[in-house]
Amino acid sequence: MLLHSELPLAIVLAGWALLLPFAALALAAVRRQFLLAEVQQHLWLAGALLMAWLWSAQIGAAGGPRFAMLGVALYALLFGRARAILGLLLALALHTAAFGGSWADFGVNGLLIAVGPVWLATGLQRQLARWLPKNLFIFMIGNGMFVVLVVTAATSLALLAAGWAAAPGAVPDFESLIVYALLLAWGEALASGMIFTALVVYVPQAVLTYRQDVYLPPHQAMR
């Protein structure tokens, strides 16, 4: 799934050069107020740890590309752009250290698994908020399923394409793998939609992108 092969030095340097400004901007955005509530802090850290493990629980044909649940779209929907980028980079660092990943490829992997998915997820979330009615059901289903499906599919295809570009001969039957990645994205969207809905309903303070005053305003008093 993630790139662990030896990439050309120019690509390695370009990956780091592109990743560092995004990480710096994320740090600057949250330098004064990171996470207020304890439940947000616990969920942010637990999510990073969970994804570091999830990315190691891979499936796939022997000798071919491996697939795993990503969790990146749901994480972005919960914590917003800056906090999600930092959390996903933490997860990537933990995964790289614990499972023998490539630190040289960290820049490229960070762009593929953190920066790209987070910007796409938060961008789609803002478009839904802009163009669709401010309805709680639309917020939960539109974000928890539609956004997750699009982001997970796009991220999986980007990782697959990057793996093919790094080692073309190691990816046989590329078209079938695309179909497989899309099927897994649909399954992740269903699971993420249920988790996202449960958090919005039962622990709304854990979802930083949710505003109760917008999506569930108090009823006007009857006269």
126-157 confidence digits (pLDDT tens): 999 899 888 899 999 999 999 999 999 999 88
User: Is the pLDDT reported for residue 30 higher than 60?
Assistant: yes
User: Is the pLDDT reported for residue 222 higher than 50?
Assistant: no
Per-domain boundaries in the chain: 9-210
- Mean pLDDT across the stretch 8-27? 93
User: Is the pLDDT reported for residue 90 higher than 90?
Assistant: yes
Nearest to 78 by CA among 110, 41, 113, 115: 41
Fold exhibited by the domain 9-210: Arp2/3 complex 21 kDa subunit ARPC3 (1.10.1760)
Residues 6+ apart with CB under 8 A from 56: 68, 95, 98, 99
User: Is the pLDDT reported for residue 14 higher than 90?
Assistant: yes
Measured distance CA(75)–CA(192) in Å, rounded: 10
177-197 confidence digits (pLDDT tens): 788 788 889 989 999 999 999
